[in-house]
Amino acid sequence: MVMGESIIGDRNFEGKAIFKYPANRFSLYFTDHRQITVQEEELPKIGDNQVLVKTLLSAISPGTESLIYRGEFPGDISKDENIVSLSKNFSYPMKYGYSAVGRVVDTGKDVDPNWIDRLVMAFNPHESHFISDPEELMLFPEDIKPEDGVFLPNMETAINFLMDGKPLIGENVAVFGQGIVGLLTTCLLARIPLTRLIALDRFPMRRRASEVAGASICLDPNGDDLQERLAEYLPNGADLTYEVSGSPAALDQALDATGFAGRIVIGSWYGSRPSCLNLGGKFHRSRIHLISSQVSTLAPEFQGRWTKERRFGVAWEMIRQMRPSRFITHRFPIQEAAKAYNILDEDPGSAIQVLLTYQS
């Protein structure tokens, strides 16, 4: 079967297309270290209170999915206990992915038929079709394109970083890591009247993108003159530092770059890789605050006024204003997904956001 072949079939006597429920779907599986496969599998029937979504595109999370691809994940926690499709623990073989954009093509008998043809975003793994409860789907605003809306999960993450870090007017801020989450974080920070916004990334293309996104300058964290450059731009250290590079070694660098009583927001997930920190030097007297930030929850101080829905509303508005599709560097049909993961693993400096596409 060709993917999508059975979506629209014959026409009735009025000339209207008759929907044919697809028998199969194509799903991406991580099967072992640096091994993926795209499998054709039977598509279950939808329940009375569910909808069927045909995927248009999905975004690869280069940080988390690279850990899964390389087998650097802990096996004793769930992929995400707050998302139904990701509630099981990490173990091969597994499906993963959390940013799928598609259209509703069928509904159960108890679902409002107005859901048909609605553009939606779902925290769902990479697959050509998926079944969902309507309340688990995010409806697209009419003025946002699929290529921009696919950034919703990462934009929400970047907003969560700002909420946890609480940047103030006039502060000096450093951001370690300018992958897609780091770039979106830089875009948001650039809207605040900071004194300086210093970004760091080891790849030239990302450094260029960072300065376009609003960083005062983007430095190479492996550069021989890094300490001199940081001393030049941050003579008293950063007031606020974000570690979103995904590299455990960068957290030690973040400690060195942060000033007395500064804050470090740790947004990276290191998986099973240990982070060996030097806490025996100036850190003991530095009063630096280390803040763990993860988007699946809201910090307690916000929970009286904020909800996930409110934060998503802000994320949609930031997508509307920033048009993050400009950060897309690669698109691959799902059947060529192995090429996408190989690039992220072997040549990460050539990629920022990689999308998987699905035949219409």
For residue 192, being part of any structural domain is answered with yes
For residue 1, being part of any structural domain is answered with no
pLDDT of residue 15: 46
How far lies 42's CA from each of 1, 2, 338, in Å?
Answer: 12, 14, 22
**How many structural domains compose the chain?**
2
165 and 287 belong to one structural domain: yes
For residue 149, being part of any structural domain is answered with no
198 and 118 belong to one structural domain: no
pLDDT over 90, % of the chain: 78
> What average pLDDT does the chain have?
90
123 and 181 belong to one structural domain: no
**Least confident range of 9-13, 142-146, 293-297, 351-355:** 9-13
Query: Comparing C-alpha atoms, which of 199, 205, 160 is closest to residue 182?
Result: 199
Using CA atoms, how far apart are residues 155 and 315, in angstroms rounded to an integer?
A: 6
Name the phi and psi angles at 145, rounded to 5.
Answer: -85, 155
pTM for this prediction = 0.89
β-strand 8-11 against 17-19: which pairing, if any?
antiparallel
339 and 252 belong to one structural domain: no
> End-to-end distance of the chain based on CA atoms, in angstroms?
14
Give the pair of three-digit tokens for residue 299. 């910090």
Using CA atoms, how far apart are residues 214 and 191, in angstroms rounded to an integer?
A: 8
pLDDT of residue 98: 96
Using CA atoms, how far apart are residues 146 and 56, in angstroms rounded to an integer?
A: 8
String of DSSP letters for 155-214: HHHHHHHHHHH---TT-EEEEE--SHHHHHHHHHHTTS--SEEEEE-S-HHHHHHHHHHT
**Least confident range of 46-55, 133-142, 178-187, 248-257:** 248-257
Q: Structural domain of residue 126, as residue ranges?
A: 8-140+323-357
Query: Comparing C-alpha atoms, which of 273, 247, 277, 345 is closest to residue 74?
Result: 273
- Region 212-235 average pLDDT: 96
**pLDDT tens track for 320-346:** 999 999 999 999 999 999 999 999 999
130 and 240 belong to one structural domain: no
**pLDDT tens track for 256-278:** 999 999 999 998 876 766 667 77
273 and 352 belong to one structural domain: no
For residue 315, being part of any structural domain is answered with no
Q: What is the CATH number of the domain that holds 20?
A: 3.90.180.10
**Most confident region among 3-7, 99-103, 251-255 by mean pLDDT:** 99-103
Q: What is the CATH number of the domain that holds 262?
A: 3.40.50.720
218 and 115 belong to one structural domain: no
199 and 262 belong to one structural domain: yes
